[in-house]
Structures are given as C-alpha cells and as structure tokens.
Structure 1
Amino acid sequence: MRIGELARLADVTTRTLRHYDELGLLTGRRGANGYRVYDDADLRAIREIRMLVGLGFALEDTRPFVECLRAGHERAASCPDSIAVLRRRIAEVDDSVDRLQEVRGELTRQLGEASRARCEFSGIDP
C-alpha cells in the first residue's frame, strides 16, 4: 500500500509517516515506480507506536517494540529490550507519582494554613 492509504488506515497524517520513516521506525520499500510501498507489518508498527506515544513514551523509546514486531514476535513487549524500556518507564511513572504526592501534600498543608489564617482573621473557629 502507498503512504496515503497507510495514513488513512492508521489514522495519522502522511507527514507523521514520513517522520517515522526518517527515524527508521517504518520499513517501507521503494516500488518499481519509486514510491514507498508499505505492508500490514508497517500498519501494526504504527499502531504500536501510537499506543506507546499515547502512554507518554518518546518516539525513540518505541524502537525496541517496533524491532520486536519486525523480528516476528507476536507481542511487541515480549523482547528483552522492550521489557527494559517498560521497566524504565514504570520507574519514571513511579517517580512522577511520588513527586505529585509530595506536591499534593504541600498544597494541602498550605490550604490548611490559609483556612486557619482566614478563620482567625474573621474570628471564626476552623
């Protein structure tokens, strides 16, 4: 299939596909007419990339998953490099959650202080 059809099936723009191609994330081949020709494996790779990007992965972090699919594995996350990226991403998410909990705690503390100060100013019991 040509790039327009692939874009339509994957629900992305042709510009996005060209970008993926430049990064080596797609394996389109040149047809006799000079146009890039893509197949179902490329469509599957694009869907995997979009799903991972939707989960917050950087494009480069999707490479091991795409390579795993290209190697013939049924699941993109079944290869050691993919698993390593998943573990690293989980650790990053855990760090973000910890940081957000710290921020929430500080905001809650400040709100409590502000409420008490407002009550004291108004002569109301908190």
Structure 2
Amino acid sequence: MHLSIGEVSERSEVSVRAIRHYDKHGLVTSIRGSNGYRYFNDQSVTEVRQIRRLIAAGFTLSEICGFPACMRAREEAEFCPETQAALLRHLAEVEKHICALETQRAELVKALSQQKCP
C-alpha cells in the first residue's frame, strides 16, 4: 500500500471526502502510516471508480457493502457473474419507478388539458 488518499482521488477522479467515506464503510482498504495518513494499494483506484459506477446505477452504499468483492474489483464494461441477479433486481425496481412516474405524468397532463382559462 503506497498511494496517498490524494493520489487515489486524482487517479479515480473521486473526491478525498468520498474516499474517506468509502473507507469508513469498509468498501476500500487503507492502512494508517506512522504519520496518521491513510495509504491505499493500486487496486483501490479501480475499487473507488467501480463504487462510483454502482452509485451512479442507483445502488446505496449499504447495498454495495453486501455485494461480493468481485463487483468492486473490476472496472470493465460488464460486472462479474455473481452480481447479475442483484443488477436484474435493481433494474426491475427502476422500471417500476419509471412506470409509476409515467402514470403520474399522464395524470398531470390530463388534468392540465382539462383546465379552462377564465
């Protein structure tokens, strides 16, 4: 482990504050130097990028904590096979939300079209 938190931040394009938060939740591993600073290994850059990707996909940190390590260890176009079920469940939830929002939108459009100007 030889990367400072600033180096991980720069390489991953994620804020130092966010990396500290991920470290606090055990999503990345650091060790403390004798100076009190956190130090990370090279794999941490990939893990931080992948955590950001999962958050962008709508997962919470609590959910990410429950995923197998392979889900944070790869920075490829595809997630590891063990995670497909979690991704499919999340996609189904997102699609339900979209359907509900489309229904609400239709009701609003209908209500507005029935408005008569005084």
Asked if these proteins are the same fold (TM beyond 0.5), I'd say yes
Identity over the aligned pairs, expressed in percent? 35
Greater Rg, structure 1 or structure 2? 1
When you count helix as a share of all residues, which structure comes out higher?
1
Match of 1:85 in 2: 86
Match of 1:98 in 2: 99
Task: Give the alignment's TM-score, normalised by structure 1.
Answer: 0.74
Match of 1:124 in 2: none
Q: Distance in 2 between the 1:4 and 1:73 partners? A: 21
Match of 1:23 in 2: 25
Q: In structure 2, do the counterparts of structure 1 residues 34 and 104 end up closer, same or farther at CA, with 3 Å as the change threshold?
A: closer
Higher relative contact order, chain-length normalized (CA < 8 Å, sep 6+): 2
Specify the SS of the correspondent of 2:80: coil
Q: Does structure 1 conserve the Cα–Cα contact (< 8 Å) formed by 2:31 and 2:40?
A: yes
Q: Distance in 1 between the 2:16 and 2:80 partners? A: 29
Q: Does structure 1 conserve the Cα–Cα contact (< 8 Å) formed by 2:51 and 2:64?
A: yes
**1:40 Cα deviation after fit:** 2.0
Q: In structure 2, do the counterparts of structure 1 residues 31 and 44 end up closer, same or farther at CA, with 3 Å as the change threshold?
A: same
**1:110 Cα deviation after fit:** 0.6
1:39 aligns with 2:44: no
Specify the SS of the correspondent of 2:8: helix
Q: Distance in 2 between the 1:11 and 1:50 partners? A: 10
Q: In structure 2, do the counterparts of structure 1 residues 93 and 69 end up closer, same or farther at CA, with 3 Å as the change threshold?
A: closer
Unaligned 5+ segments in structure 2 are none
Q: Distance in 2 between the 1:101 and 1:25 partners? A: 35
The aligned length equals: 114
What's the C-alpha RMSD, in Å, of the aligned pairs? 2.5
